[in-house]
Structure 1
Amino acid sequence: MIVPIRRSTRTSRWALLPAAVILIVLGYLPYLAEQSTTNTMIDFFILLILGITWNMLAGYAGLVSVGQQAYVGIGAYGVLWLAQRGVNPFVGLPIAAVFCAVVAVPVSYLVFRLRGGYFAIGTWAVAEVFALLTIRSSALGGGTGTNLPGLDGYDPVLLGAMTYWAALAVAVLTLIGCYLLLRTRVGLALTAVRDDETAARAVGVAVPRAKRIVYLAAAIGAGGSGALLAISQLNIEAGNVYGVQWSAYMIFVVLIGGIGTLEGPIIGTIVFFTLQQTLASHGAWYLIIVGSVAVIMAVWVRRGLWGLLDRFGLRLFPVGYRVGEQPVPERS
């Protein structure tokens, strides 16, 4: 008997219909809910994008970066720079995201010379350098920031809905893009790198190439998030978009949800926003509780919340190979 090797699972196949329903409901949300709800969902999508792309770095490539806010800032200021030259911010969003990948190419050659904790510190230092360079530019508002031009003529309700749809589109494209990337040979290479980089090199895996592809993809995602942040807030200030809190949020949602899975950042983002909306009015207790949850998960539930479900064989986004449920008879 030949045991078939499959990628999809029963869970992933059955999840297609609910996923389509959820996507349709999310698309109609501006017609069903108040603008405050859609504004909250924009923030949700921004953090989800950051969590998914950071998880690719740390969970699949072993690149624990605390400097992804560099590309959040570049994406935000990229939209601002384009808008100052007459480009509609919604049109400038993908341009700014791609520009982040262009910037990430030389940066990757610099930070990839570092390993472990040195890599993490190096990425943070790069983010600080970009922040300082931005602050020195008076055309970009300097240290006090500036307003985003090009959206003054829009009705506020329409602008809120367009921003929401843009955030939803970027989040869906990011999730699908990461899923498809991880199902390619690059994804297989990253799995080998994550398990044992030395062994992966020994069997011929192009480790630097695989890592660089993921690093550039993560830069595009962070840049898109920064562009969405600029459009949603209509004001860009370096201390906000280059703030290290963005890396803290990314790490939190991935740690809570489950590192090394595409489902984990989704669960983690939901938990984060639930805690935020529930506890934000409690002042310092909010930070204490969120920090305590992170410590508990790191110590006792290292695979995250999705890891607890994964023991039952659940896979919504299967990117690896698995043994099929039914054996296939050999042909005579």
Structure 2
Amino acid sequence: MTISHLLGATAARNVHVSRAGRASKVSAGGLVAVAALLAALPFLVFSTVTDTLINLFVLIALASMWNLLAGFGGLVSVGQQAYLGIGAYSVIALADLGVQPYLAVPLAAVTCAVFALPTSWLAFRLRGDYFAVGTWVIAEVYRLLVVRVDSLGGASGKGLTGLSGIDQTLRGALTYWVALGLALATIGCCYLLLRGRLGLSLMAVRDEETAAASAGIDVRRAKLLVYLVSAAGCGAAGGVITVSSLSVNPDSVFSVQWSAYMIFIVVIGGIGTIEGPLIGAVIFFGLQQLLADFGSWYLVLLGLVGIAAALWLPRGLWGLARGLSLFPIGYLVRGPRDPA
């Protein structure tokens, strides 16, 4: 054996490969503590606070699902409100059939995944900008179909049944916990999916679809799976909106504004990272609370923030935290002199 081989073997023995560094492990502990505190909030604060936070949790879930689809899968959709609306109306329909509305929320997610399967057959025939526009058109088609169903309230929408017998305070707490559970579930789902082979496959497809296919990756399967997961997550978010507002309106729930919110949050937070939608949702939620009383200037200021982020922070706010990862999906390789 030559000296170079000996040096190489020695270096290999001194190299340590791990999923997360010490900072990530400490941050993970902090996230668990924050989640526990959030779960206890209904016992600590007034219901007005928890009712407001439901909106934040819905935004986190929606942004995480859009980021999974576009940031990791390369599928830039402007029509995820289709599944938001289908999920919302699924809860209405299931409640009319006697299903408890809170139990209807996960069933709404399953319903959206079922609808997304044939929808993907049509959407995946489009590429690039055509895919983005096509998904928006599909969402409009679903809205027009729902409006024509009289049992769902038609164009005026419909109220939710099945929650009238629950105490208002308890109902607010249950809705809060369901919304929090949705946010945590979407983040955890993204993390688990991206840690495995699917995560590598998705990023390869995002970067260069042809090269990924030539490397043996089943491109269609990877895209289909992430599309179904994203549809299910958005559907569950629609269900939470329904049990929170106790009614649904087709023009509101199928509005393209929801996709605009998702895109804005992911852009300012950091696309292609699990942490980006989290910080982006918090920033967007804060801007909503601070600027909502400014009327049309509220939208102007949001637009200026989005433009500034796109120009000067192409990797989003999370891109400023170089080297830090709260949800490590890759590997860290450290030598004997590198810090842990």
* 1:82-112 CA distance string (max 9 Å, x none): 0001110011111111110011011111101
Normalising by structure 2, we get a TM-score of: 0.94
1:80 aligns with 2:75: no
Give 1:304's aligned amino acid. Answer: G
User: Structure 1 residues 257, 183: CA separation in 2 closer, same or farther (over 3 Å shift)?
Assistant: same
Secondary structure of residue in 1 paired with 2:327: coil
Partners of 1:211 and 1:277 in 2: how far apart?
A: 36
* Residue in structure 2 matched with residue 224 of structure 1 by the alignment: 236
1:320 aligns with 2:337: no
Which of these residues, 131, 141, 161, is aligned with residue 153 of structure 2?
141
User: Structure 1 residues 195, 324: CA separation in 2 closer, same or farther (over 3 Å shift)?
Assistant: farther
> How far did 1:326 drift?
3.7
Asked if structure 2 preserves the Cα contact closer than 8 Å seen for 1:4 and 1:327, the reply is no
* 1:134-176 CA distance string (max 9 Å, x none): 0000100000011100001111111000000011111111111
Which of these residues, 57, 77, 101, is aligned with residue 45 of structure 1?
57
> How far did 1:288 drift?
1.0
More displaced 10-residue stretch of structure 1: 199-208 or 119-128:
199-208
Partners of 1:5 and 1:199 in 2: how far apart?
A: 27
* 1:272-327 CA distance string (max 9 Å, x none): 01111111111122111110000111112110000111x2x000001122323547
1:182 aligns with 2:194: yes
User: Structure 1 residues 17, 274: CA separation in 2 closer, same or farther (over 3 Å shift)?
Assistant: same
Q: Which has the larger radius of gyration?
A: 2
> How far did 1:207 drift?
0.9
* Residue in structure 1 matched with residue 297 of structure 2 by the alignment: 285
Partners of 2:233 and 2:31 in 1: how far apart?
A: 22
Which of these residues, 262, 274, 286, is aligned with residue 262 of structure 1?
274
Secondary structure of residue in 2 paired with 1:78: helix
* Residue in structure 1 matched with residue 6 of structure 2 by the alignment: none
* Residue in structure 1 matched with residue 80 of structure 2 by the alignment: 68
Give 1:71's aligned amino acid. Answer: Y
User: Structure 1 residues 4, 198: CA separation in 2 closer, same or farther (over 3 Å shift)?
Assistant: farther
Partners of 1:207 and 1:236 in 2: how far apart?
A: 36
* Residue in structure 2 matched with residue 125 of structure 1 by the alignment: 137
Partners of 1:195 and 1:290 in 2: how far apart?
A: 29
> How far did 1:9 drift?
2.1
1:152 aligns with 2:151: no
Normalising by structure 1, we get a TM-score of: 0.96
Partners of 1:306 and 1:259 in 2: how far apart?
A: 9
* Residue in structure 1 matched with residue 208 of structure 2 by the alignment: 196
* Residue in structure 2 matched with residue 170 of structure 1 by the alignment: 182
* Residue in structure 1 matched with residue 126 of structure 2 by the alignment: 114
1:18 aligns with 2:12: no
Partners of 1:267 and 1:20 in 2: how far apart?
A: 16
Secondary structure of residue in 2 paired with 1:143: helix
Secondary structure of residue in 1 paired with 2:155: coil
Asked if structure 2 preserves the Cα contact closer than 8 Å seen for 1:135 and 1:142, the reply is yes
Give 2:52's aligned amino acid. Answer: T
Unaligned runs of 5+ in 1: none
Partners of 1:204 and 1:327 in 2: how far apart?
A: 37
Partners of 1:53 and 1:59 in 2: how far apart?
A: 10
* 1:184-228 CA distance string (max 9 Å, x none): 111110111122222111111111111111000000100000000
Secondary structure of residue in 2 paired with 1:5: strand
Asked if structure 2 preserves the Cα contact closer than 8 Å seen for 1:12 and 1:318, the reply is yes
Matched pairs, number: 326
Quote the sequence identity (%): 52
Partners of 2:234 and 2:124 in 1: how far apart?
A: 19
Secondary structure of residue in 2 paired with 1:38: helix
> How far did 1:28 drift?
0.8
User: Structure 1 residues 196, 327: CA separation in 2 closer, same or farther (over 3 Å shift)?
Assistant: farther
